[in-house]
Amino acid sequence: MSTTIDPKIAAETEKRRAFAIIAHPDAGKTTLTEKLLLYGGAIHLAGHVRARKDRKKTRSDWMKMEQDRGISVSTAALQFAYEGYYLNLLDTPGHEDFSEDTYRTLMAVDAAVMLLDAGKGVEPQTIKLFRVCQDRGIPIVTFINKMDMPALDPFALMDNIEKVLGITAVPQLWPMGSGQDFKGVYDLRSSKVHRYERVAGGAFPSPEETGGLDDPELEKIMDPELYTNFREGAELAQEALPPFDPEEFRTGRISPVFFGSAGNNFGVQLFLDRFIELCPPPEPILLRDERILEPAATDFTGFIFKLQANMNQKHRDRVAFLRVISGAFERGMSVNHARTKKSVRLSSPVSFFGQDRSTVDEAYPGDIIGLINPGTFQIGDILYTGSVEPAFEGIPRFAPEMFARLIPTDTSKLKAFRKGLQQLSEEGVVQVFTAPDGQGVLGAVGNLQFDVFRFRMEDEYGAPCRLESLGYECSRWIRDEDRSKFSSYDWVIKDQEDRPVVLFKSEYRLENFLKNNPEVPLYEHPPYVLPA
């Protein structure tokens, strides 16, 4: 592995930012995504989040089911330029049933935006996603949304973040009221007031008037009690709350906090300008063998973190999403494929913007590109140049909690059914197992995953089918030699790598087995090679 640093790659890497937005459903994640694109100049007219026949579709929600339901169930990768930087935004699934897809996405970013509803504070799904970011050492910037609606007191929101998540909240802006009384924000760093102006439908960038804390206009536009509370709060926040420390932020100990209204665009540009400063560019990675992989090294490396079939039904192809880790990517380059030990030519790289795609000629660390996948790539695959394979940590699979059979209802569509089952299972959202009788078993962590899988089988592959729920609640990977130690209440099946998996009827049955068989190891997710 080369340690030579290329100055051009180093310069390009400094311009890259790769980040994801994490949030509880309905906090406004897709709306904020859209408004970041609006301010980045990637779109010029914002549509509405929940699609109806007379409304434009949100650019990141390309799947028909997402457009119909107004939810995000797949991860969209969007790149846009802003002020000389290239931002790679991964819009993660908002529904908790797709948390594994979100986990894999968070392995491909360098920072995260934690989006909170100002009226609710930290919610359950936010906690789960925050823990993933914390485990991976991903710095988190907080955007408190919906300030133009009834909201909690800003100090209560700071306290909520610190008590629930155990991270210090450091405000960068301070809100002037909330709900109908929301008048703007005070920038604690520049000492400027940015006055809120509602934008009809949130379709265009929001104009903002600025002034200082002593601007006499503030008293005219605010209720006297509201003005007094705002002044006292802003001064207290400036004097008593801890200052922002870049090192503390990068190590995940503090989170800078912004306030605004993504729906009405207010505060989004303030946030975006500061976020570019805060969000780190791609940094060196410590590999399993203790070597350091520098982003600006001359050798190229990247890993596949997501597969997606039928992003555009006109193309009918499968796409592997690759995060560039080091070196420069060039269209047509040949790379080593670590899993297959073969050389692969990357001749058709693309970037995406909703359903639109364009050819990628070059990419640098932090960039996300799509590779047309004829079945060559799997989630977790490492691609590299040079003579030494980089020793990355693997991407784990998680134990499903719900199980069902997917049964074709039109025997004339069996070929399409098998094709859809194979291609959609490669995406890793639903896992496909094989029962002893040879029939397929689907495993998922939530019912919505099953619904999406069946919908896509019918909509994208024309393969009518029905789901038949199975009475098992949890699963674990096991060793081959332990198969005989399970009772008739349990069901041993195989995953797609031919590894044995046991299904338990209930958590109680699982706990009972562990109590009575402490010598039998059970695995919540399989490493690439199960330990002996």
Structure tokens at 182: 């929301």
Amino acid letter, 115? L
Domain identity same for 88 and 172 = yes
Specify the number of domains making up the chain. 3
Domain identity same for 147 and 85 = yes
pLDDT band at residue 122, thresholds of 50, 70 and 90? very high
> Has residue 58 got a pLDDT over 80?
no
Most confident by average pLDDT, 138-147, 305-314, 457-466: 138-147
In a domain, 19, yes or no: yes
In whole angstroms, give the CA distance from residue 237 to residue 215.
Answer: 19
Amino acid letter, 138? I
Q: Contact, 337 vs 376, CB < 8 A?
A: yes
Bridge partners (DSSP) of residue 476 are 502
Domain identity same for 296 and 250 = no
> Has residue 298 got a pLDDT over 70?
yes
For residue 122, what is the domain's CATH number? 3.40.50.300
> Has residue 405 got a pLDDT over 90?
yes
Per-residue model confidence (pLDDT) at position 62: 41
In a domain, 526, yes or no: no
Domain identity same for 266 and 380 = no
User: Does an H or E element contain 68, and which?
Assistant: helix 64-69
Kindly state the DSSP code that residue 312 receives in the 8-state scheme. S
Per the listing, tokens 């690439």 go with 528
Per-residue model confidence (pLDDT) at position 51: 36
Of the residues 384, 418, 445, the one at which a domain ends: 384
In a domain, 1, yes or no: no
Q: Quick one: CA torsion of 358, 364, 367, 373, rounded to 10 degrees?
A: 60
pLDDT band at residue 368, thresholds of 50, 70 and 90? very high
Domain identity same for 369 and 408 = no
The pLDDT tens digits of the residues spanning 198-218 come to 766 555 666 566 677 777 778
Single out the residue of 109, 131, 106 nearest to residue 283, CA to CA: 109
The pLDDT tens digits of the residues spanning 492-525 come to 999 988 899 999 999 999 999 999 999 999 988 7
Burial environment of residue 90 by CB neighbours within 10 A (0 to 12, 13 to 18, 19 or more): buried
Domain identity same for 48 and 167 = yes
Per-residue model confidence (pLDDT) at position 311: 61
Domain identity same for 99 and 185 = yes
In a domain, 107, yes or no: yes
Greater pLDDT, 448 or 405? 405
Per-residue model confidence (pLDDT) at position 208: 64
Q: Contact, 291 vs 284, CB < 8 A?
A: no
In a domain, 525, yes or no: no
Domain identity same for 25 and 126 = yes
> Has residue 57 got a pLDDT over 50?
no
For residue 301, what is the domain's CATH number? 2.40.30.10
In whole angstroms, give the CA distance from residue 456 to residue 467.
Answer: 13
How far is CA 338 from each of CA 192, 306, 335, 380, 392, rounded to the nearest angstrom? 53, 17, 9, 10, 11
Phi, psi values for residue 326, rounded to 5°: -150, 160
Structure tokens at 136: 């991976």
What average pLDDT score do residues 380-393 get?
A: 91
Amino acid letter, 131? R
Helices 447-461 and 414-426: crossing angle in degrees, nearest 10, is 130
In whole angstroms, give the CA distance from residue 480 to residue 499.
Answer: 8
In whole angstroms, give the CA distance from residue 132 to residue 134.
Answer: 5
Per-residue model confidence (pLDDT) at position 398: 74
In a domain, 312, yes or no: yes
Task: Please state the separation of Cα 338 from the chain's center in Å.
Answer: 25
In whole angstroms, give the CA distance from residue 194 to residue 225.
Answer: 20
pLDDT band at residue 529, thresholds of 50, 70 and 90? very low
In a domain, 530, yes or no: no
> Per-residue b/e over 328-352, b at no fewer than 16 CB within 10 Å?
bbeeebebbebeeeeebebebbbbb
Strand, helix or coil at 224? helix
Per-residue model confidence (pLDDT) at position 48: 37
In a domain, 431, yes or no: yes
- Ramachandran area for residue 414 (φ above 0: left; ψ -120 to 50: alpha; else beta): alpha
Phi, psi values for residue 414, rounded to 5°: -65, -40
Of the residues 281, 299, 324, the one at which a domain ends: 281
Task: Please state the separation of Cα 385 from the chain's center in Å.
Answer: 27
Domain identity same for 257 and 357 = no
For residue 456, what is the domain's CATH number? 3.30.70.3280
Domain identity same for 412 and 363 = no
Work out whether strand 254-259 and strand 168-171 pair parallel, antiparallel, or are unpaired. parallel
pLDDT band at residue 12, thresholds of 50, 70 and 90? very high
Per-residue model confidence (pLDDT) at position 140: 97
Greater pLDDT, 413 or 221? 413
Domain identity same for 429 and 489 = yes
User: Does an H or E element contain 125, and which?
Assistant: helix 124-136
In whole angstroms, give the CA distance from residue 188 to residue 238.
Answer: 6
In whole angstroms, give the CA distance from residue 374 to residue 344.
Answer: 12
Of the residues 250, 281, 312, the one at which a domain ends: 281
The pLDDT tens digits of the residues spanning 315-360 come to 567 889 999 999 999 999 999 999 999 999 998 898 876 567 789 9
> Has residue 463 got a pLDDT over 90?
yes
Domain identity same for 258 and 298 = no
The pLDDT tens digits of the residues spanning 148-190 come to 999 999 999 999 999 999 999 999 999 999 999 998 999 998 8
Structure tokens at 508: 């109680």
Range of the domain at 298: 286-384
| Whole-structure pTM value | 0.79
Question: E strands, 360-509, where?
Answer: 362-363, 368-372, 382-384, 402-408, 431-434, 440-444, 465-470, 474-477, 491-494, 500-504
Helices 224-240 and 154-165: crossing angle in degrees, nearest 10, is 40
| Radius of gyration, alpha carbons of the chain | 25
